[in-house]
Amino acid sequence: MSLSEETFDVVVIGGGPVGENAADRASRTGLSVALVESELVGGECSYWACMPSKVLLRAGAVRALARDTPGLRDPGAPDVAAVLARRDEITSGWDDAGQVSWVEGAGLTLVRGHGRLAGERLVEVTVPPAGAGGTGASDGDGAGGLGEAETGESPATQLLRARHAVIVATGSVPVLPDTPGLAEASPWSSREATAADAVPESLVVVGGGVVGVEMANAYADLGAQVTLVARGGLLSNAEPFAGEMVGDALRGLGVDVRTGVEVASVERPGAGSGAEGEATGPVTVTLTDGDTITAAEILVATGRVPRTADLGVESVGLDESGLGRGGALVVDDSMQVAGVTGGWLYACGDVTGRAPTTHQGKYQARVVGDVVAARYGTEAGDRAPTDGEPGPAVGQEGRAWSRYAATADHTASVQVVFTQPQVSWVGPTEREARAAGIPVEAVSYDLAWVAGASVETPGYTGRAQVLVDTQRRVLVGATFVGPDAGEMLHAATIAVVGEVPLDRLWHAVPAYPTVSEVWLRFLESYGL
């Protein structure tokens, strides 16, 4: 084992979309930044999550559009090989060379290996031996780095000392319920589902959250016989009507949707017989209502938890009681980790458990990067954050709605689910708003009644709802369900973040005949 030590102003652990952005922004005032990554630069999102999953859904969505447009014909089931080839292209064949050159171009120092906190401002990196790579499509265990087993050489350890700050952006890992027989059945996680090199004849999807509904939709589009098992309803974080509409649409695609039922046990004869000890035969799932389902594969999509188990948090004085739900690093709005003496530890993205999407994580990354750049930076050049003031605005960390606080995480977090129909929302649901004591009135509208919808397709199905704070007369939330509902969201986000008074919103005239005319209908329905 060799030991070397290097000092940087800032060390970022985790080179996913969030870590990359935090590192880039932190470097903007002349700070030297090391970015530590154990697998692929670009993280889960680029290779096993957002990007491949959206490509797997795209052909089916375009097919539905063509089928529903008078004058066009159903182009037929997607060409699976072509869809998988496009997926391979968008993940660059699980090669991160493109992202590495971006990192280098941004002036950051990439350190490959597994980073672990080892005391105040100290990160120990276990570096894979030369030739072991440390990149390439992973086996999906999320352990990161390749070691002794692959090359016969011991991994080296490198110490990185941070003069000022360490930023953790290690993401999250999937949860595997302890259902009898499940672990032994070699279940798919979202990694296998997004990186599969063939479409199984049949698939059981466990979990009715975002991964569950998106992957059920994608695999049904691609020709698998899909059964979706959800212990509650679908998309329980969204408005109830959204989950119901997605459920109806999935049934329309031939998915067997079972809600309100759990998996009691799983059996897979031949467990351990595959080349790498995995199970290979058909899998039989017994449900709590006594029904059984047999399928070629099983996908577990029952949520993710922050990745802190292998981070060495105990070395900086954080025990279990100092961590949040699922082991999250608890942060304030400037993304500083609570309970660490000296205030040098920051975190952003999935590891904080605040709002586990790429866009909210990157927003937090911009905040923490700017906080660190402003607090410790040496140059107030063109790229320095100014917040409208001369030079870096030190001392404003955490001030609501300044660039040094991730305020929108609480009030205006957004999400888009890329099913057919898409679901998009900003801010709280009606139930969440009421629980928070906000006096809201929900104004709901059938999108099919808008002229623009009838132009799009004769059978347009969609619904939208805004939440009006009746005291302040501003919008606090909105949900859209329909084709391309993701593209309708940002107008609502601007209205919520800008706290635009309804009387002023009245003057934001939506063009005719677009689906956005629903904005006029909302206001009219509310009495304007």
Ligand X SMILES: Cc1cc2nc3c(=O)[nH]c(=O)nc-3n(C[C@H](O)[C@H](O)[C@H](O)COP(=O)(O)OP(=O)(O)OC[C@H]3O[C@@H](n4cnc5c(N)ncnc54)[C@H](O)[C@@H]3O)c2cc1C
Ligand Y SMILES: NC(=O)c1ccc[n+]([C@@H]2O[C@H](COP(=O)([O-])OP(=O)(O)OC[C@H]3O[C@@H](n4cnc5c(N)ncnc54)[C@H](O)[C@@H]3O)[C@@H](O)[C@H]2O)c1
Binding stretches for ligand X (CB under 6 A): 13-19, 36-40, 43-45, 49-50, 53-54, 114-115, 144, 169-172, 190, 194, 211, 307, 310-311, 349-350, 356-359, 361
User: Which lies closer to ligand Y via its Cβ, residue 230 or residue 255?
Assistant: 230
With CA atoms as reference, report the closest residue to 77 among 253, 339, 268, 322: 253
Q: Rounded to an integer, what distance in angstroms lies between the CA atom of residue 423 and that of residue 421?
A: 7
Looking at the Cβ atoms of 217 and 411, the one nearer to ligand Y is 217
Instruction: Choose from ligand X, ligand Y, none: what does 37 bind? Cβ within 5-8 Å by kind.
Output: ligand X
Q: Give which of ligand X, ligand Y, none residue 115 binds (C-beta under 5 to 8 Å, depending on kind).
A: ligand X
Q: How many Å is the Cα radius of gyration of the chain?
A: 24
Identity of residue 477: G
List of residues 6+ apart from 299 with CB closer than 8 A: 187, 188, 189, 190, 192, 193, 203, 204, 205, 206, 212, 215
Contact 262, 302 (CB under 8 A): no
Partner whose binding site includes residue 87, from ligand X, ligand Y, none (CB under 5 to 8 Å by kind): none
Q: Check residue 177 for interaction with ligand Y (CB under 6 A).
A: yes
| Binding partner selected for residue 417 from ligand Y, ligand X, none, CB under the kind-specific 5 to 8 Å limit | ligand Y
| Residue with the two structure tokens 């059981």 | 204
The verdict on 421 binding ligand Y (CB under 6 A) reads no
CB of 126 to ligand Y, least distance (A): 27
Length of the chain: 528
Q: Would you call 92 helix, strand, or coil by DSSP?
A: helix
**Minimum CB distance to ligand X smaller for 355 or for 453:** 355
The minimum distance between CB 392 and ligand X, in angstroms, equals 25
The enclosing H or E element of 392 equals: none
Among 17, 134, 145, 356, binds ligand Y (CB under 6 A): 356
Q: What's the closest the beta carbon of residue 419 comes to ligand X, in angstroms?
A: 11
Where in 234-253 is the site for ligand Y (CB under 6 A)? Answer: 236
Of 14 and 243, nearer to ligand X (C-beta) is 14
- 220 with 213: CB under 8 angstroms? no
The least CB distance from residue 38 to ligand X, in Å, is 4
Closer CB to ligand Y, residue 313 or residue 417? 417
- 331-to-11, 33, 348, 368 alpha-carbon distances in Å: 18, 21, 8, 11
Q: What is the edge-to-edge ordering of all strands in the sheet holding 256-259? A: 256-259, 225-230, 202-206, 297-300
Q: Rounded to an integer, what distance in angstroms lies between the CA atom of residue 266 and that of residue 294?
A: 10
Q: Which of 301, 408, 453, 505 binds ligand Y (CB under 6 A)?
A: 301
> Which phi-psi region, left, alpha or beta, contains residue 131 (left: φ > 0; alpha: ψ -120 to 50)?
left
- 416 makes contact with ligand Y (CB under 6 A): yes
Q: Confirm or reject binding of residue 357 to ligand Y (CB under 6 A).
A: yes
Rounded Cα distance, 459 and 453, in Å? 9
**Closer CB to ligand X, 172 or 336, in the complex:** 172
Q: How far is the CB of 359 from ligand X (least distance, A)?
A: 5
Partner from ligand Y, ligand X, none contacting 78, C-beta within 5 to 8 A by type = none
Can you tell me the distance from the alpha carbon of 113 to that of 37, in angstroms, rounded to the nearest whole number? 6
**Structure tokens belonging to residue 309:** 């188990």
Which of the choices ligand X, ligand Y, none does residue 233 contact, using the CB cut-off of 5 to 8 A by kind? Answer: none
Q: Is 208 in the site for ligand Y (CB under 6 A)?
A: yes
* Separation of alpha carbons 357 and 171, rounded Å: 10
**Nearest distance in Å: CB 415, ligand X:** 7
Query: Which C-beta is closer to ligand Y: that of 295 or that of 416?
Result: 416
At residue 156, what are phi and psi to the nearest 5 degrees? -90, 155
What letter does residue 315 receive in the DSSP assignment? G
Determine if 303 is a binding residue for ligand Y (CB under 6 A).
Answer: yes
Q: Which is nearer to ligand X, 53 or 284 (CB)?
A: 53
- Measured distance CA(45)–CA(19) in Å, rounded: 12
Nearest to 199 by CA among 299, 275, 269, 67: 299
Q: Is 259 in the site for ligand Y (CB under 6 A)?
A: no
Minimum Å gap between C-beta 61 and ligand Y is: 13
Q: Please report how close the Cβ of residue 465 comes to ligand Y at its closest, in angstroms.
A: 19
- Amino acid identity, position 184: E
Report the greatest alpha carbon distance in the chain: 74
Asked if 68 contacts 62 with a C-beta cutoff of 8 angstroms, the reply is no
Instruction: Map residues 362-381 to x or -, x wherever contact with ligand Y holds by CB under 6 A.
Output: --------------------
End-to-end alpha carbon distance in the chain: 72
For ligand X, give the closer residue by CB, 361 or 421.
361
Distance CA 399, CA 405 (A): 6
Whole-angstrom distance, CA of residue 412 vs CA of residue 407: 8
- CB under 6 A: which stretch of 95-103, 200-208, 423-431, 489-497 binds ligand Y? 200-208
When the beta carbons of 66 and 143 are compared against ligand X, the nearer one is 143
Find out whether 11 and 160 touch, Cβ atoms under 8 Å: yes
Kindly indicate which of the ranges 109-117, 134-142, 204-212, 321-329 contains the residues binding ligand Y, using the contact rule CB under 6 A.
Answer: 204-212
What letter represents residue 74's amino acid?
D
Residue 207: how many CA atoms within 13 Å on its side-chain side? 22
Q: Is 212 a residue that touches ligand Y (CB under 6 A)?
A: yes
CB of 136 to ligand X, least distance (A): 12
Quick one: 351 or 393, whose CB is closer to ligand X? Answer: 351
Q: Which residue is nearest to ligand Y (CB)?
A: 209
Q: Which residue, 181 or 361, is less far from ligand X as judged by CB?
A: 361
Nearest residue (CB) to ligand Y, 484 versus 499 = 484
Residue 13's binding partner out of ligand X, ligand Y, none, with CB under 5 to 8 Å set by partner kind = ligand X
- The binding site for ligand Y (CB under 6 A) comprises 177, 206-212, 214, 230-232, 236, 262, 301-304, 356-357, 415-418
